[in-house]
Amino acid sequence: MQERLKELQQEALEAIQKATDLKALNEIRVSYLGKKGPITEVLKGMGKLSAEERPKMGALANEVRDIISANIEEKQQGLEAAAVEAQLASETIDVTLPGRPIQTGNHHPLTRIVEEIEDLFIGMGYTVAEGPEVEQDYYNFEALNLPKSHPARDAQDSFYITDEVLLRTQTSPVQARTMEKHDGKGPVKIICPGKVYRRDSDDATHSHQFMQIEGLVVAENIRMSDLKGTLELFAKKLFGEDREIRLRPSFFPFTEPSVEVDVSCFKCGGHGCNICKQTGWIEVLGSGMVHPNVLEMSGFDSKKYSGFAFGMGVERIAMLKYGIDDIRHFYTNDVRFLKQFQVKE
Amino acid sequence: MFVSYKWLQEYVDLSGITPDELAEKITRSGIEVEGVEVLNEGLKGVVIGHVLEREQHPNADKLNKCLVDIGEENPVQIICGAPNVDKGQKVAVATVGAVLPGNFKIKKAKLRGEESNGMICSLSELGIEGKLIAKEFSEGIFVFPNDVTVGEDALEKLQRDDQILELGLTANRGDCLSMLGVAYEVGAILNREVKLPNPAVRTISEKATDYVQIKVEAKEDNPLYVAKVIKNVTVAPSPLWMQGRLMAAGIRPHNNVVDITNYILLEYGQPLHAFDYDRLGSKEILVRRAKDGEKIVTLDDAERTLTADHLVITNGSEPVALAGVMGGANSEVKADTTTVLLESAYFAGPTVRKASKDHGLRSEASSRFEKGVDPNRVRAAAERAVELLALYAGGEVLDGEAVVDTLNVEPVVISITLEKINRVLGTDISIEEVAGIFTRLQFETTVDNETITVTVPTRRGDITIEEDLIEEVARLYGYDNIPSTLPMGSSTPGYLTTYQQKRRTVRHYLEGAGLYQAVTYSLTSEAKATQYALETREPIKLAMPMSEDRSQLRLSIIPQLLEVVKYNVARQNDSVAVYETGPVFLSNGTDALPDEREHLAGAITGLREQHQWQGEKKEVDFFVLKGILEGLFAKLGLEQKVEYLQAVVEGMHPGRTAELFLAGQKIGFIGQVHPTVQKELDLKETYVFELSLETVFAEEVAPLQYESIPRFPSITRDIALVVEKEKVAGEIESIIVEAGGKLLKDVHVFDLYEGEHMEPGKKSIAFSLKYFDPEKTLTDEEVTKVHEKVLTAVKEKSGAVLRG
């Protein structure tokens, strides 16, 4: 009987060894360990054994059972793992193939610049003011200290619709309109982006339509030094932390004193290159202290209030910043041009 | 204004400062120097030569064989093609080894068998622009006066050993249209003394008033007219140095008399005019407005018809000059002129500007009068001119002047406090520094405690108010020295308005949905202006368009976007998806500002997804674009309020276009561009939409409220309905929604079939209906009860048959 059990154990272990799949293994389990299996058969003959031998034999039978059972278990785990592996192998993909494309567009580069500037100034307490693109001569010129006889307002340079109505040549009329609305009470802190129009033939550096963005602060005790500090922040944010600015005296009818503002060249850092024409500086905007006539015309007491204003061409900023060589690109909207401005720097 | 560095040294000591350094200093303190030109850059080895012999080249008709003394041991043979070369002339010779502009190196050469050791030069070969070369030398070599020395540097003689600063003057700095003005500016910048010319004129006993009387009718246009008379003048070339300076400043030399008037114009900024006294034919100068239709032939030989807007100088009857703009041909100084009447006057800027504009004549004189000349320099300039006429034209100056002077020159006096200066600039400048700056500018000042009173010289007409003085202080104190601060005082909130925020939301959404933002022109052609307009009014036309293509303001954006699509498709960008937000312009009649309505438009064509390697490549269609819009309205909280109704819109596919209504109000349309339009533009199927963004944003949006997540399961029932082909899904959906009541939570189309298994003229639409009660789990019976109601309603109201 003992031999028979050993034999069965040997036989079972060999069968387990040979089993190649879970189904075969299960058959082995049933055939050896099942109620009708050979071990049970062997145990049925236990009655013939002596009382001393019976527990011994019982223990042996259990031991054989356990060994077979453990072997099956072990084999099963092995087979299961192999099956998973086989499945995974069959499911392998080429991960270097491209993903399913998500088609997205992006901001036009001009909007990108405008929003960047808007956000910077909103953070400093400005609001965004907008105004009409078809404007009265009064707001476009007269309210900005450019009376009808002023040499700087040649009809040849503006798109007039009638004698009194024209396409605005600058975003400054928005400043005049906003100040007027404030009814002589400060503070006014606005940033005004928008399209403007001039009678220019379109070429690589001229466009009859372009964008400007202007800023205006009117309050008590606004100083030239405030303008300088504000523009310094602006230059660093837009062109990089290492930028410096310098102010050069200039002339605009609506500001006095007036300055043009140069930013140290962001390409060469100020050493001189082709972008800055070897000067180390790039002219980016015009600005100044709001002319008392402009304040008065818009209902502000120039004795009590002062202010600064600044303005720049958005295309110029974009061209400088991104190295764009032809202003017409902004208006032809070639997809190969537009899609280059999706990156968040 | 072109400023000669060498000439400027006559007025201000420039020692220790190079032209480039000077340019930088001038730029930093107010006047932009746009460039510094080195006149003799890339030029060397050009000397004065003396043509000893000239004979015809033996083998060439048009060449001359010259023997030229160039100051070396032996004269050299030079072949010269200039028609005017001749024996005895002093000429500029580029010797062997010389370099001319464009890196043109002069070498020993053989020309038609004859040796040539250098080149006799024209002025243009020396880098002088053709339009600046005196007429007699414009076609040949330049002939020097006889007193030059052989072997000397010819470029020096021509004042080419100089550098020219090109000033970019702003409209307010007309004072720097003169060497003296620039000298004052530079003197202030460098804090150096300014030396003014001090004309010494010897006069003869005859009096100018015996020769001419001045009458001025138009005193507002011409408050000051000074005439001097110079007799026994010999008209000849002006001195070489003067010609050189004129050319360097951009003025062509003529003869000594004309050159002197131009030289004074450059030196004093005061335009002068020289008349041939004898040709005037009278003893009278009358300044008056022209009569309408009166004519004058100006010095450029053009006959000009005048109006009463124009001021003329007359000899009592006939116009002899267009005041401040150009002289008349009838009184021109010519080679035989012996008596000169010299005019120095103050003409009002606007009058000169009008004449200059009307006749398209911008002269050196008119541009100075327009900006305003210094009234106190009118006589000084005349005095200096007659000094030079006596010196260089051999003239005898008559005593005194004939004059009309009604000019009341009151200098501007401005008082300003130190506190104000420092308050505006944000600085802490001392009273001494401020006073020092005004002294440097040669402004007369008195300081009383901390108040400075400045008498502004008449040459600086741009300074009229305190702020102008502050600018003078700031620019000479140096903007670099002004501190950087930020505005103080109460802080203000910075924000975007709701409208502006929504516009940004729209942009981000559309870009996320695959559309690129485009920016196009507002001006367009007459044909395109009104195409696809949501609302049409009188087109708004420019008074003076530059081209028909840009002559009117747009009433819609779609035509512009179709141009963008066309442009891209023609360049192999086959799949295009773009949008634009911007105004369209609706007229309110002449002189009233138009309504500017912000619109949103989009256009798509080509593939939905590019570079796709899996699955089917799908072209865009109506529903792709509609889906984008539905998503947009969902984002704006308006999807329940928007209806799409089949519509016919000009230029759009009649079967594939819908108008959009928001809460019953028309807001735009969507659809396929009409196939004929597509064909004209060479486009494949292209879908577009345009919406009035203002109307969309104006619609009230219910405040966002959280709705609890369902705790009970919902029950879904699908139905397939067979209906007439013309029956639209939206209508059936409305019936279902109405009948479904509040238990019907959601309904949507999930299939449409119009194939062969259908009866002709019919289609099958499948809807999925979701029932849900937030209070409890619905039973089958409860759902069935509602669902039956839905089915009955659909059958009755749309004639639908439930598909088996």
Domain with CATH 3.30.56.10 in chain B: 2-39+163-190, 412-481
Half-sphere exposure of A291 (CA within 13 A, CB side): 21
Nearest beta carbon to residue B484 from set A108, A232, A251? A232
Residue B550 contacts A, CB cutoff 8 Å:
yes
What pLDDT is attached to residue A186? 82
Q: How confident is the model at residue B288 (pLDDT cuts 50, 70, 90)?
A: very high
Which string of b and e fits B604-623 if b means at least 16 CB within 10 Å?
Answer: bbbbbbeeeeeeeeeebebe
CATH topology of domain B412-481: Phenylalanyl-tRNA Synthetase; Chain B, domain 1 (3.30.56)
Distance from C-alpha of B567 to C-alpha of A88, rounded to nearest angstrom: 49
Distance from C-alpha of A228 to C-alpha of A259, rounded to nearest angstrom: 10
- The distance of B273 to chain A (nearest Cα, Å) reads 24
What pLDDT is attached to residue B522? 97
Are A313 and A211 in contact, with CB atoms under 8 Å apart? Answer: yes
CB contact under 8 A, A134 and B585: yes
Token pair of B164 as six digits: 């020219």
What are A119-147's pLDDT values in tens digits? 999 999 999 999 999 999 999 999 998 88
Task: Locate all alpha helices (DSSP H) within B314-377, ordered by sequence.
Answer: 349-358, 364-371
CATH topology of domain B498-698: BirA Bifunctional Protein; domain 2 (3.30.930)
Looking at domain B2-39+163-190, its CATH architecture is 2-Layer Sandwich (3.30)
What are A40-81's pLDDT values in tens digits? 777 777 777 788 888 888 888 888 888 888 988 998 898 899
What pLDDT is attached to residue A146? 87
Distance from C-alpha of A149 to C-alpha of B467, rounded to nearest angstrom: 22
CB contact under 8 A, A149 and B350: yes
Q: CATH assignment of A109-341?
A: 3.30.930.10
List CB contacts (< 8 A) between A197 and chain B.
522-523
List CB contacts (< 8 A) between B592 and chain A.
165
Token pair of A266 as six digits: 């962001």
Domain with CATH 2.40.50.140 in chain B: 44-157
Q: At which residue do the structure tokens 């500086």 appear?
A: A281
Residue B115 annotated as binding? no
CB contact under 8 A, A103 and B610: yes
CB contact under 8 A, A292 and B578: no
Domain with CATH 3.30.70.380 in chain B: 715-802
What are B507-545's pLDDT values in tens digits? 999 999 999 999 999 999 999 999 999 998 989 999 999
User: Which segments of A are annotated as binding site for Mg(2+)?
Assistant: 256
- One-character DSSP codes across B462-507: T--SHHHHHHHHHHHH-GGGS------SS----B--HHHHHHHHHH
CA Rg value for chain B: 42
CB contact under 8 A, B170 and A292: no
Distance from C-alpha of A261 to C-alpha of A247, rounded to nearest angstrom: 5
Residue B300 annotated as binding? no
Are A4 and A64 in contact, with CB atoms under 8 Å apart? Answer: no
CB contact under 8 A, A106 and B516: yes
Q: How confident is the model at residue A154 (pLDDT cuts 50, 70, 90)?
A: low
What are A209-243's pLDDT values in tens digits? 999 999 999 999 999 999 999 999 999 999 999 99
Nearest beta carbon to residue B467 from set A134, A246, A257? A257
Q: Of the ranges A34-48, B17-31, B378-392, B549-563, which one carries the lowest mean pLDDT score?
A: A34-48
What pLDDT is attached to residue A267? 82
CA distances from B773 to B712, B784, B785 (A): 7, 14, 14
Task: Locate all alpha helices (DSSP H) within B222-344, ordered by sequence.
Answer: 240-248, 256-268, 277-280
List CB contacts (< 8 A) between B542 and chain A.
159-161, 167
Q: How confident is the model at residue B602 (pLDDT cuts 50, 70, 90)?
A: very high
Token pair of B330 as six digits: 């009838």
| Superfamily name with CATH number, domain B715-802 | Ferrodoxin-fold anticodon-binding domain (3.30.70.380)
CB contact under 8 A, A228 and B32: no
Token pair of A55 as six digits: 């527990």
| Superfamily name with CATH number, domain B203-405 | Phenylalanyl-trna Synthetase, Chain B, domain 3 (3.50.40.10)
Beta bridge partners of B99: B44, B105
List CB contacts (< 8 A) between A121 and chain B.
494
Contacts of A151 (CB under 8 A, 6+ apart): B171, B353, B370, B371
**In whole numbers, what is the pLDDT of chain B averaged over residues?**
93
Token pair of B537 as six digits: 């009014």
- The distance of B82 to chain A (nearest Cα, Å) reads 40
Amino acid at B507: R
Distance from C-alpha of B625 to C-alpha of B485, rounded to nearest angstrom: 51
What pLDDT is attached to residue B611? 67
CB contact under 8 A, B516 and A338: yes
Residue B462 annotated as binding? yes
ipTM: 0.87
- The distance of A65 to chain B (nearest Cα, Å) reads 51
Q: Of the ranges A22-36, B244-258, B692-706, which one carries the lowest mean pLDDT score?
A: A22-36
B559: preceding bond cis by omega (within 30 degrees)? no
Q: Write A32-40 long-range contacts (CB < 8 A, 24+).
A: A32/A8, A32/A68, A33/A65, A33/A68, A33/A69, A33/A72, A38/A8, A39/A5, A39/A8, A39/A64, A39/A65, A39/A68
Residue A229 contacts B, CB cutoff 8 Å:
yes
Q: Which CATH number fits domain B44-157: 1.20.1250.20, 3.40.470.10, 3.40.50.11930, 2.40.50.140?
A: 2.40.50.140
Could you tell me what percent of chain B has a pLDDT over 90? 84
What are A81-127's pLDDT values in tens digits? 988 999 999 999 999 988 888 889 999 999 999 999 999 999 999 99
What pLDDT is attached to residue B251? 95
Residue B516 contacts A, CB cutoff 8 Å:
yes
Could you tell me what percent of chain B has a pLDDT over 70? 100
CB contact under 8 A, B511 and A127: no
pLDDT reading at A153 higher than 80: no
Q: Which of residues 629-688 of B touch A (CB under 8 A)?
A: none
What pLDDT is attached to residue A20? 86
Q: What is the mean pLDDT of residues A310-335?
A: 94
CB contact under 8 A, A225 and B516: no
